[in-house]
Amino acid sequence: MSEQTASALGANPYLPEGVYIPDGEVHVFGDRAYVLGSRDRFGGALFCMEDYEVWSAPVDDLTSWSSHGVAYRKEQDPYNDGSHPNLAKGAEDGIHYLYAPDFCQGPDGRFYLYYCLDTVSRVGVAVADQPGGPYEFVDHVRDPAGLIVGERPGDLVQFDPAVLVDDGRVYLYTGNGAVNRVHRRFGYANNHSMVMELAADMVTVIDGPHRLLPDITESRGTGFEGHELFEASSIRRIGDTYYLVYSDVHMHNLVYATATAPMGPFTFRGVLVSNGDFGIGSRRSLLGGVMPFGNNHGCVERIGGRWYVFSHRHTDGRQAARQAWAEPIDLHPDGTFGHVRLSSSGLRDAPLPGVGRYSARIACRLTGWWGGATYSMLRHRFQPYLTQEEGPRQYVDNLRRGASVGFRSFTDLGGTLTVTYRGTARGHLNITTDEGDLLARIQVTPSSAWTTSAPQPITHPGGEVELLFTYRGRGRLALADFELGGAPE
């Protein structure tokens, strides 16, 4: 099995190497699932530096994602003509970047895209004949008098729009910030979660904005304590219940609240996923993530009869190089979702085959010598991280003494194991189960070029297993891939 074939098994991250799409909103239209999110630039200094791009896959084959190309360019927003300075450090030519979007099929059958530009408190609207685009600018969300919502005196800051078309009515959810505050640099004020209803033109507000979820000054006694909205609203109707997914004040969590009406009131229900796996087992400390963690944004969507939670992970030791991630999730009869662990198998919804060649990019655990990971912006010295080279080819770098890379999970392991590595390392990799059972040991020596180790026997009694590669030795090790072979001759 080639690496390309292995990644096509539905493994995380589910989009191809070199694709950096965070903040994903996934919707099913017809017989395809479409994902639209922000678009990071590998090595970029800021979030969301690229134009929007839509990907889709057949609902009965979530291993086969294809790009529809650029769906919307940041310069299509008429505000973004370079005459309004972008105050973000590292911005190019004063142009504002396209932050997290959402899209929907309007009552007229056309497809509508809602977005905000960075540091700009207004919601743009664009339209297309197909969900994959291309989209054309329509207008900014306005009140009946034609004033732009978000720029009127006393307005709440517009950020991270989510849109719901419900029985022919259209609802828009926006907001950020855990507390109402003034941002001295960007001029943000009146930060809060909010909801509004739009007219059939998909632009004009006919009700609202109304404050929605409590901020940290209002949450005592509400059930939202410790889970107030940070950003990343996403909305779904499931049966007669409305589910508002968002990133809470911990940033790495995606959580959800429910209501019996689209404008609430909403009740906090729980955590869906953390991109550091916090809340799983005993992981609580900020030094205890299983992956370098940071902000999060995503959704839940039912595809082919199965529910999935979509989120993103962080790479390259920085916040602004994020990739789409997905996990199957259970919706229980009482209307609650489970809290899921990160996996390598992702959309496959089953363990990966125990024979084949796998890129290290499918790692779901990257921990330092202390057994945990920290914020994704803490690069090099402290923890391993995912990065890429020309090709593009992603790999794990900066494995130092005691650091580990984990892959969850495999079934029916073959009889041999090889790894492809490089670096200044001199020592060995211990390959164990997550329970600590030693399966193999591979010697590594310094090499400036990618080197494949000799096959080593690997023994396991069978069944499902999580593989953990822990480096013991001196120097720095990079891991490109590993191959699980058949029974040794």
The predicted pLDDT at position 93 comes to 82
Residues 23, 228, 466, 481: which is the catalytic one?
23
Known catalytic residue at 118: no
Which tens digits make up the pLDDT trace of 92-108?
888 999 999 999 999 99
The predicted pLDDT at position 184 comes to 61
Q: Give the CATH number of the domain where residue 400 resides.
A: 2.60.120.260
Strands 426-433 and 267-274 come out as unpaired
430 belongs to a structural domain: yes
| Structural domains counted in the chain | 2
- Residue 6 pLDDT > 60: no
Q: Give the CATH number of the domain where residue 327 resides.
A: 2.115.10.20
Q: 32 and 105: one domain? A: yes
3 belongs to a structural domain: no
Which tens digits make up the pLDDT trace of 430-460?
999 988 899 999 999 999 999 999 999 998 8
Q: 328 and 358: one domain? A: no
Phi (first) and psi of residue 347, to 5 degrees:
-70, -10
Q: 265 and 384: one domain? A: no
Residue 342, Cβ density class (10 Å: 0-12 exposed, 13-18 middle, ≥19 buried): buried
51 belongs to a structural domain: yes
Q: From 304, 331, 348, give the residue that closes a domain.
A: 348
321 belongs to a structural domain: yes
7: Cβ contacts below 8 Å, ≥ 6 apart? 16, 17, 359, 361, 362
Coil/strand/helix, residue 437: coil
The predicted pLDDT at position 363 comes to 98
Q: 335 and 356: one domain? A: no
Q: How confident is the model at residue 426 (pLDDT cuts 50, 70, 90)?
A: very high
26 belongs to a structural domain: yes
The partner residues of 50 in beta bridges, in order of sequence, read none
Q: 255 and 119: one domain? A: yes
Which tens digits make up the pLDDT trace of 274-287?
999 999 887 777 78
- Mean pLDDT of the 284-299 span: 90
The predicted pLDDT at position 3 comes to 47
Known catalytic residue at 23: yes
300 belongs to a structural domain: yes
Residue 323, Cβ density class (10 Å: 0-12 exposed, 13-18 middle, ≥19 buried): buried
- Residue 489 pLDDT > 60: no
CA 433 vs CA 227, 371, 430, 459: distances in Å: 34, 15, 10, 11
Q: 38 and 158: one domain? A: yes
187: Cβ contacts below 8 Å, ≥ 6 apart? none
Q: How confident is the model at residue 54 (pLDDT cuts 50, 70, 90)?
A: very high
385: Cβ contacts below 8 Å, ≥ 6 apart? 292, 315, 316, 317, 366, 376, 379, 396, 397, 398
Residues 3, 228, 231, 466: which is the catalytic one?
231
Q: From 348, 366, 400, give the residue that closes a domain.
A: 348
Rg value, the chain, Cα: 23
Q: 211 and 147: one domain? A: yes
Q: What is the mean pLDDT of the chain?
A: 93
Coil/strand/helix, residue 283: coil
Q: 258 and 389: one domain? A: no
- Residue 48 pLDDT > 90: yes
2: Cβ contacts below 8 Å, ≥ 6 apart? 357
Alpha helices, DSSP H only, in 318-385?
Answer: none
304 belongs to a structural domain: yes
Q: From 348, 371, 386, give the residue that closes a domain.
A: 348
Q: 245 and 116: one domain? A: yes
The predicted pLDDT at position 5 comes to 45
Q: Calculate what percentage of the chain has a pLDDT beyond 70.
A: 95
Range of the domain at 32: 14-348
Q: 334 and 429: one domain? A: no
- Residue 157 pLDDT > 70: yes
Q: 251 and 313: one domain? A: yes
> How much is the pTM?
0.96
Q: Calculate what percentage of the chain has a pLDDT beyond 90.
A: 84
Q: 224 and 163: one domain? A: yes
9 belongs to a structural domain: no
